[in-house]
Amino acid sequence: MHIPTFRYDRAIEQLCGDPPTWPEPTNGISEVRLAIRYLSNNPLLKRMSPIKTLYVDIVDYPGEWLLDLPLLELSYEEWSEQIARLCEMEPRATLSQEWRTFLETVDLTSEAEDSTLRQISQLYTDFLYRCKEPQYNLSLLQPGRFTMPGEDLKGAPLLEFCPLLKIPEDYNDNSLYAEMKRRYESYKEHVVKKFYQAHFSSFDRQIIFADVLRAFNTGYASFVDMRDAINMVLKSFHYGKSGLINKFFGLKIDKMLFAATKADHVTPDQLSHLESFLQNMLATSHNNATFEGVSSETLALAAVKCTQAAHTTFQGKKMSCIKGMPIEGDKPIALFPGEVPIEVPMPEEWVEGRFHFMAFKPPRLANVHGSGLPHIRLDHALEFLLGDKF
């Protein structure tokens, strides 16, 4: 009762508005329970109770929070070293300059003061926000609550710490370094563990979403960062008995869906390429899950289809296109957004202009309650995730 309800009704109102708009992105946790009534095909169950009910609990939360899971296996020093290495490479080296420059002027062995802690953590948070800007589109941003704190932690002192570039050898318990370390450990215990224990303990099906097309538009560095972030999270899950998620939370996943989003932003003949690319991109994590006995599948999905398939003629040849309303325009356009590679291109092949996967406005919907939302392969996803329950 203490968890906000996912406002499906409000989202539908926005999608069905005039003009239609996309619902606000997830910035906190919410839940919804679906009750699905069905007729059983089992002869024995038909006699006892022909109509059965399947309850499906769906938990919605910012994807950024998943990035905190790997912290449970890292000491403060190990995490600091990991972030320091990332900041040696572009674009992080430039984006983190202000934070790193200020950090070099701070005596970490001096007595901890709230004003200094607040200033350092704010500079680090600003750096993370810069990493999220569209021209960089970086994904591996920890801690996840720094850029997506949720209403419960916004402005909390618990978020006033950051990684360090150098670890002091001598320090006392009242030092700035000691206080940063305490807050890091407290963050893991009271935020990360608490979140997973409260909401992950009963999960048995998992969906991993990846916006591959956005990484294509941004470039190779963005793609590598997204790939590393997803694989890092999935490595932490390790679905066997010795895995972190099982050890701490007793989570037993038996089905996992890898989903490439925005399938309506590519031409229909490219859907299989999008699925193959995602499968190759996450091959290690996919294989580890399969080895642990988890049934997995890869799909290209669009929860709300906002384009239509079209065709045009170019140099005498018929070419597949998509047609839709650009997010920044007021007239529909038809375009060929580009081919999706099956394998990851070499770094030098990520040339500017090779990919142009445009964002579109949602379609105008006249009778969503009667015909439902137009989608791509959402029925396939539901069959994989829930089909065996019927």
Average pLDDT over residues 144-162: 88
What residue ranges do the domains of the chain occupy? 64-190, 200-390
Cβ atoms within 10 Å of 227's Cβ, excluding its own? 20
Cα–Cα distance measured from residue 59 to residue 87, given in angstroms and rounded to the nearest whole number: 33
Q: How confident is the model at residue 77 (pLDDT cuts 50, 70, 90)?
A: very high
Geometric angle at alpha carbon 75, from 105 and 223, rounded to 5°? 80
Residue 338, amino acid: G
Higher pLDDT, 299 or 151: 299
Q: How confident is the model at residue 242 (pLDDT cuts 50, 70, 90)?
A: very low
The structure's pTM equals: 0.86
Residue 358 DSSP class: -
Contact 341, 352 (CB under 8 A): no
Give pLDDT, residue 250.
Answer: 59
Higher pLDDT, 304 or 251: 304
Q: How confident is the model at residue 324 (pLDDT cuts 50, 70, 90)?
A: very high
pLDDT digits (tens, 9 = 90+) for 190-215: 999 888 777 776 778 888 889 999 88
